[in-house]
Structure 1
Amino acid sequence: MAKTLLRSVGLFGAGMIAATLAPAIGAVDVGTYKELDQFMSVFERVRADYVDKVDDRTLIKGAIDGMLASLDPHSAYLDARDRQNMRTQTQGSYGGLGLSVTMEDGAVKIMTSQEDTPAAKAGLKTGDYITHLDGKLLYGGSLDEAVDQMRGKPGTRISLTVVRPGRDKPFDVSLTREVIQLKPVKWEVKNEVGIININTFVNSNTGDSVRAAIAGVQKSLGHDPLGYVIDLRSNPGGLLDQAIDVADIFLDRGEIVSQRGREKGDIERRYATATPTDLAHGLPIIVLVDAGSASAAEIVAGALQDQKRALVMGERSFGKGSVQTVLELSDDTALKLTTARYYTPSGRSVQEGGIKPDIIVPQLSDADYKARPRLREADLRRHLINEAKVDDKILEDDGKPDPRFQLTADGLKKQGIDDFQLDYAIKTIARMSQPPLRTALAGAKRGAK
């Protein structure tokens, strides 16, 4: 059984291992036998001579983890604990802070903080480093250990020491754990504009939740809105089929995404279905993205951008253009393996380069936005290379200062604007909904088909 995402082992000699694997992996080179002999030699010496006795299962898992880590940042071995975490992310809820974290050079680094969680309410940002939990140093420990400490019974408190690039000193944040409900979609209406915030694609009902959001917007107004803002900021991705389903909601024809594997002819294309047609009824759409928009979020943004169905606004996205397949190994273990790259309808790979917005809009509401580092796929060790050789310097070049974006966070706050990107998108939708501009946009869309 395999699902697209975006332990007991006996001791054998190297020859027996190779003979066992040969039917599955094809002809085994003589050099491979020698390498397997070398592996078994190291394995036996560690078992016999290491200063502390080490469990065989620990050594073998470490070897598997090391093999997969040498490939790319997204391939991994999933043991029973990892599988349970994956089920929690896709189906349930847990007591915690609402953080997505990674390990970088022995330090815990924040990737995203989920909206409406203790972490987001406390202002924790992408690129922040967590150095201590309740005063205890985290450096040198494992990511699993750090995650276990941050999760816990709702209502209990925990103190985080945070290092933020651009600030002179670390600072402490005291948080109260809450039940983190994995709600993939929220919606609201502002100034006659429907705002659909998609937080994640890990839930198998994300597409249905977006349909319900559109119906909710229309019902609350009693008529169609001026247009829609699809907010994909800080959305780390998830299931490929849900990304395709969401893009299909706003398209009535055309390609959504293609997957391309190792072999030249290994290409799978996915298209919009003819029925039902665009549920947004052709109204203007703006998709908001930032450096935290990754994977499935980039598939949706790229499809709507290439099909001229939406304007993409915000900052360049994360740049994860690879597909992972979960391959079941046993009842409680699996292999998450990178099996393909994905491409937008126009043939673009977003790997490394990400989705470049049609209109670049900085988040002026964030006082630290200029100094805050943007963690992207290209910053990860052993990331897959974009075969198109994207020039990051060009993508990052903001050119001359834009006179539209000179306001400060304090100045915006005085105007009652706490999210500049969203406010800018709403006002743009209002301008796009004016009859002359709508006629021009409709003509441009027809000409692009």
Structure 2
Amino acid sequence: MIRKISLLLCGVVVGAGLSSTFTYAPWTGTNLSIGNANAATSDTFRHINLFGDVFERVRKEYVEEPTDKDLIAAALNGMLTSLDPHSSYLSPESFEEMAVETSGEFGGLGIQVTMENGLVKVISPIDDTPAHAAGVLADDLITHLDGEAVRGLNLTEAVDRMRGKVGTKITLTIVRKEVEQPIKIDITREIIKISSVRSKALDDIGYVRITQFNGQAFDGLKNAIAKLEKEIGSDKLKGFVLDLRSNPGGQLDQSIAISDTFLDQGEIVSTRGRNKDEVKRYYARAGDLTKGLPVIVLINGGSASASEIVAGALSDHDRATLIGSKSFGKGSVQTIIPLGNNGAIRLTTARYYTPSGTSIQAKGIVPDIFIKQELPDDLKDRFPQTSQTEANLRGHLENTDKASGAKKEAQKDGNKDAESDLKKDEAKKTDAPKADTKDAKDPKEAYSPSYVPPEVEKDTQLQYALKLMRGEESNEAFPAKKMASK
């Protein structure tokens, strides 16, 4: 049996520009027997016959001879993409790349690269990797890989050639500034882990940014918290800012574990499929790794799927204050079904719900405090002037959730906190002084570019969060209700 891989939640999928929540499942085949006499009279069989007729006509009469493989792949993808924006067929190459992205590790060299004038330019070697140990430097230009010219390859092709089986060698030919002759460097590939967690001590506040919920995210968060506690000192640490802005999502188990990091108990998320009895609930375990310190979560229009699960769980449990702008609104679950050597299909199989029983599908999560992030003048033409959300995607699933229905369903399914969560005082969601209301009737849903400045001092949303936590600003939404009662 083809193995089951259960991934859920990759918001704005890398390379596709869309968010998705996904799980892996085995391929069990089909119950349709084409040779069955009963099936022969069914509508399903007649439609399959129609497909076969069209397929044969295209094979024989199209102006240029197509390959059967390409026709079938396109047909599969067309069938799946017609369902919603997040269902699709993954070619073997795309499936392999997705597996690398979600696992967070691969066999490679450990360098961040880009293309410049047809050559591969090193942005930076990653610390403690083969490339770093071999002496590869930032701004090096890679001209050849194992003696073959890089010029003519695109970035993806070049990266694919640098990746490979652990223990195998590759020779890089490098042109370096102020060095007359090209340099040849032999490097042995090792396991490279993609770090999706970055942290820094901002005086007395711990700042943690998660860029993607890959397989390394939870461990990265645990290490970041321990590092910040040691660096700042547990007696001086005022709290944590968890930055989920422009985080497209990732694996469900990672979003659950990261939510659990800040919670002692209660439901984190539930998923519901086509049938009403297809409900799965995920709960927090005892033990808050942040020891109950105040938490602020930053979100924006690029925060999708797994990011929204974490933000929704911490908000519903009054564990964190949300600051920024409304999230993307991706509230569905995709199951990845491997097809042996033929790639995989990504199929939407469920919706997910926050602990209060609320679906954020095509709605998003509204922050407690809206802060608009201004754009530098040189970037204003590169960002859309209106929100790009799940609701803007053609063919998106509608949000069928009704508050009263969600409440009854949550209570019926045994979520004891549902009623109090659903009665949460919406008045606590307020506008900070810099709120911009011109783009929405509700000021908390106003538009803000999904831009995260690299400089802390220019980051309006982060700066407000820091001032709030230090008591330099005040807002009724902070500390979160649960914190305020302590």
5 Å-filtered alignment, 1:356-367, equals 356-364=366-374, 366-367=376-377
CA offset digits 1:357-404 (Å, max 9, x no partner): 0001111254467964432111111111111379xx9994354999xx
Distance 1:57 1:271 in 2: 44
Distance 1:279 1:215 in 2: 9
Provide the residue aligned with 1:350 in structure 2. 360
5 Å-filtered alignment, 1:39-438, equals 39-89=51-101, 90=103, 91-92=105-106, 148=156, 182-202=194-214, 204-224=215-235, 225-274=237-286, 277-364=287-374, 366-367=376-377, 372-388=385-401, 396-399=440-443, 417-431=457-471
Greater alpha carbon shift after TM alignment, 242-251 vs 213-222: 213-222
Report percent identity of matched pairs. 41
Residues 316/39 of structure 1: CA separation in 2 closer, same or farther (3 Å cut): same
Q: 2:319 is paired with a residue of what secondary structure?
A: coil
For residue 28 of structure 1, report the CA deviation from its aligned partner.
Answer: 8.6
Report the residue type matching 1:423 in the other structure: Q
CA offset digits 1:207-240 (Å, max 9, x no partner): 1111111100000022251010000011000000
Distance 1:117 1:21 in 2: 59
Distance 1:237 1:20 in 2: 40
Residues 441/399 of structure 1: CA separation in 2 closer, same or farther (3 Å cut): closer
Report the residue type matching 2:198 in the other structure: K
- Check conservation: 1:356, 1:395, Cα contact below 8 A: no
Q: 2:219 is paired with a residue of what secondary structure?
A: helix
- Check conservation: 2:114, 2:155, Cα contact below 8 A: no
Q: 2:288 is paired with a residue of what secondary structure?
A: coil
Runs (5+) with no aligned partner, structure 2: 10-29, 116-122, 126-152, 163-171, 176-191, 404-436
Calculate the aligned-residue CA RMSD, in Å: 4.0
TM-score (norm 2): 0.64
Distance 1:32 1:366 in 2: 56
Tell me how many residue pairs correspond in the alignment.
355
Runs (5+) with no aligned partner, structure 1: 7-15, 100-115, 119-144, 158-179
Residues 339/220 of structure 1: CA separation in 2 closer, same or farther (3 Å cut): same
CA offset digits 1:97-126 (Å, max 9, x no partner): 689xxxxxxxxxxxxxxxx999xxxxxxxx
For residue 302 of structure 1, report the CA deviation from its aligned partner.
Answer: 0.4
Distance 2:41 2:238 in 1: 63
Provide the residue aligned with 1:166 in structure 2. none
Distance 2:240 2:35 in 1: 53
Residues 237/117 of structure 1: CA separation in 2 closer, same or farther (3 Å cut): farther
Q: 1:233 is paired with a residue of what secondary structure?
A: coil
Residues 366/401 of structure 1: CA separation in 2 closer, same or farther (3 Å cut): farther
Residues 290/280 of structure 1: CA separation in 2 closer, same or farther (3 Å cut): same
Distance 2:402 2:331 in 1: 13
